[in-house]
């Protein structure tokens, strides 16, 4: 039987001068589907080593990704990190990636008022 808890999209984001591990935890079994995204602050050295080990860099862009045939796009929430704000999307096609889209305060407030979650950020790096 497969483990019902896995890691989904994950990547390293450099936001300003700080690095964050963006990771989706997926818990799926009959009648259950839980898949939040978290951000964990890393040191520069941790980010460098994770990237060298194969963790992708996050895609940061100014436009919302669009679903197409074979590509699903799901808004996961709003991320406040290092003085910047992003809407975070889980994009699934042949891969599972997180895409961060730069937004302003008004856009963030609008998304949150419509039910978007605020993505939890663990702000102190693990050593």
Residue 105: which pLDDT band, with cuts at 50, 70 and 90?
Answer: very high
Four-point Cα dihedral 17, 106, 78, 123, nearest 10: 40
Domain ranges of the chain: 5-122
Question: For 25-63, how does the pLDDT look when each residue is reduced to its tens digit (9 = 90+)?
Answer: 999 999 999 999 999 999 999 999 999 999 999 999 999
Regarding pTM above 0.85, the answer is yes
Average pLDDT of span 19-28: 95
Question: For 80-97, how does the pLDDT look when each residue is reduced to its tens digit (9 = 90+)?
Answer: 999 999 999 999 887 888
Q: Which two tokens stand for residue 34?
A: 């839980």
C-alpha–C-alpha distance, residues 50 and 95, integer Å: 18
Res 95: pLDDT: 81
With a CB cutoff of 8 Å and minimum separation 6, the contacts of 111 are 75, 78, 87, 103
Res 51: pLDDT: 97
Evaluate if residue 104 carries a pLDDT over 90: yes
Maximum separation of any 2 CA atoms in the chain, in Å: 46
């Amino acid at each position: 039987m497969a483990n019902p808890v896995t890691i989904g999209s994950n990547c390293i984001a450099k936001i300003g001068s700080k690095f964050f591990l963006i990771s989706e935890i997926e818990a799926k079994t009959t009648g259950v589907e839980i898949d939040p995204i978290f951000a964990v602050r890393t040191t520069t050295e941790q980010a460098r080593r994770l990237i060298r080990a194969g963790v992708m860099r996050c895609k940061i862009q100014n436009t919302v990704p669009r679903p197409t045939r074979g590509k699903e796009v799901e808004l996961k929430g709003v991320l406040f990190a290092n003085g910047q704000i992003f809407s975070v999307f889980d994009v699934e096609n042949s891969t599972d990636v997180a895409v961060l889209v730069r937004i302003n305060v008004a856009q963030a407030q609008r998304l949150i008022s419509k039910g978007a979650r605020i993505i939890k950020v663990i702000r102190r790096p693990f050593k």
